[in-house]
Amino acid sequence: MSRNLHIICEDCKEHLWVGQGAKKFYSGEPETMKALGEFLFKHENHNLGFHDDDKNPAWYDDVGWSDVTNYS
């Protein structure tokens, strides 16, 4: 099973899936980098973090986090 990598905003309870596997970001996919840029600007000066959901698969489920991954 691959690791799922997320950048998170603890203040807004939002997360964005940015990669999968062993230290692999989806940097070659323009929609991912666009979504990451939008996420970072939206959450500027917020408490941001970086999580691997394989360490704790329910890290966001228990507290109502929103997945803002939308590459359209």
Which pair of structure tokens corresponds to residue 8? Answer: 């998170």
Higher pLDDT: 12 or 64? It is 12
Higher pLDDT: 68 or 35? It is 35
Query: Would the pLDDT of 71 be above 70?
Result: no
Higher pLDDT: 72 or 35? It is 35
Position 54 in a domain: yes
Please give the model's pTM, rounded to 2 decimal places: 0.72
Summarize pLDDT for 4-62 with one digit per residue, the tens: 788 889 899 888 888 877 667 776 677 888 888 999 999 999 999 888 776 665 665 65
Q: Residues near 5 by Cβ (< 8 Å), separated by ≥ 6?
A: 17, 18, 19, 20, 24, 25, 50, 51, 52
Position 32 in a domain: yes
Position 15 in a domain: yes
Count of domains for the chain: 1
